[in-house]
Amino acid sequence: MKQAAVKPVLFVTGHAPADRVGAFARLHELENVEFALFGGPSKHGGGPPPHGAAHEPGRDVRASGAEDAGGTVEPTDELPFPHRYIRQHEPLALAASGRYRAVVCSTGGRVALGATWAGARRAGLPLILWSSLWAHPRSIPHAFSFLALRRLYRTADAVVTYGPHVSAYVGTRGARNVHVAPQAVDNGFWGAPDVSAPQWPPRGGAAHDGGRGVRSARLEQATTKFLFVGRPGREKGLRVLTEAWRTTGLRAPPAALVLVGARSNPPWVRAGGAAGDIREGMGEGQDEFFREEPAQNGILSMSALAPVELRDLYAACDVLVVPSIATATFREPWGLVVNEAMNRGLPVIASDAVGAAAGGLVRDGHNGLVVPAGDSDALAVAIRRLAGDPALRARLGEAGARDVGAYTYDAWAAGFSAALASLGRSQRH
């Protein structure tokens, strides 16, 4: 007698950003997973969707243009795993359809989260919650979701987290059966030896110098380059970083600060989202510092880069700085730029508001330096310390390159497999 096919797992989440595609594909290989993507705001820094993928919610995407007899949505050329684009209310019917053996849902999307929970419970299926939060956002809309999310932590059959810092948080909220899926990037890509010398600014980016049209080779020739990669949101700590840079007194050519994704020289975005000038509200003398040409203040700011260009830039720089701060609505869940940079052997200076530090990848004195979030003086000390000690930079960078090797797509997928196995729903056991 022919054995019945194992039903897939339904995985409901907002997006499949570039830095998640490999992880999602590996989980599908292990556990036969179908992804339901509902869209919405995304704060991932992993670049555009593969091949520019963008689709209307509610429309299935299939290689063949039709479901097979079992109702499976097939992989396509744009994403290497079965997926469909949905509206946030649709997980209720999907999860309750009888086509799945278990349901996974991320904590994003308030309507999708509730709909997925209701559908899984209607079908009597185990529900696995994928959680990134290690502090609940403090805003009026989030205040209304606090009790509901706490109930989900307590009633989920398993919880899979970004790291130990998230596991500790959900544990205090009543979660049980908690597993870790360590955050990962494509280590083979980011650590590849075939890099090129970057253009200054790299191709596809744009350098900015406050409108004076001045860019000096002194920045490019700096012997120690500190690198920031991220969007110009207040929570990313750019204001703290530039204050710290001024305090160090470092200038090109001995040292330079390269801001990727910052767009202006240098930017700051208020909590409300309105663009502002980082110089506003700074102490006496700061404004004069930021009126200097980049060659004098040692800061080069450029637009976001394509992954290959960013990899070349990592290879040309010496230290990654991740100065994120906690705000009322955001605390850095992880910071995959840390994984990327460690694959290139860069030591990392991170604040203690960065998930990769709180979660154990960045360890102070072992593979990087950890400083209090928002403390520009402490950050300045860390920057000066690494600027003046190439042997320490080398030791920390080598340790980071070893440590990040454990953060793989296989390890990420294994975290979910362990959660499924704990519920008797893994096809591997």
Residue 19 vs residue 44, higher pLDDT? 19
Handedness of CA 392, 394, 398, 404 (dihedral sign): positive
CB–CB of 12/116 below 8 Å? yes
Task: Identify the DSSP state of 269.
Answer: E
Residue-level pLDDT at 118:
96
Residues 258, 228 contacting (CB under 8 angstroms): yes
Tokens of 190: 């980011």
Instruction: Give yes or no for a contact between 358 and 134, defined as CB atoms under 8 angstroms apart.
Output: yes
**What pLDDT is stored for residue 195 in this prediction?**
93
For 249-290, how does the pLDDT look when each residue is reduced to its tens digit (9 = 90+)? 998 788 999 999 976 444 433 333 333 344 443 444 444 544
Provide the pLDDT for residue 41: 56
How much is the mean pLDDT over the chain? 83
Give the residue with greater pLDDT, 200 vs 425: 425
Average the pLDDT over 52-66 and give the result.
37
State the alpha helices, DSSP H only, in 124-163: 140-155
The answer to whether the CB of 416 falls within 8 A of the CB of 27 is yes
DSSP type of residue 73? P
For 145, the token pair is 């979701």
Span 288-297, mean pLDDT? 55
Question: Amino acid identity, residue 97?
Answer: S
Confidence class for position 141, pLDDT limits 50, 70, 90: low
Mean predicted confidence (pLDDT) in 219-229: 89
User: pLDDT above 90 covers what percent of the chain?
Assistant: 64
Residues 232-250 have pLDDT tens digits of: 889 999 999 999 999 999 9
Best CA proximity match to 265, nearest among 341, 326, 210: 210
Contact, 182 vs 161, CB < 8 A? no
Q: What is the pLDDT of residue 199?
A: 77
* Structure token pair of residue 278: 């980082």
Q: Which whole number is the average pLDDT over 341-347? A: 98
Q: How large is the average pLDDT for residues 300-327?
A: 94
Q: What is the pLDDT of residues 151-174, one digit of tens each?
A: 899 999 999 999 999 999 999 999
Mean pLDDT over residues 222-228, rounded?
Answer: 94
Give 351-405 pLDDT, tens digit per residue.
Answer: 999 999 999 999 999 999 999 999 999 999 999 999 999 999 999 999 999 999 9
**What's the average model confidence in pLDDT over 315-341?**
95
Segment 120-142 mean pLDDT:
87
pTM for this model (two decimals): 0.84
Q: What is the pLDDT of residue 389?
A: 97
- Distance in angstroms (rounded) separating the CA atoms of residues 5 and 74: 15
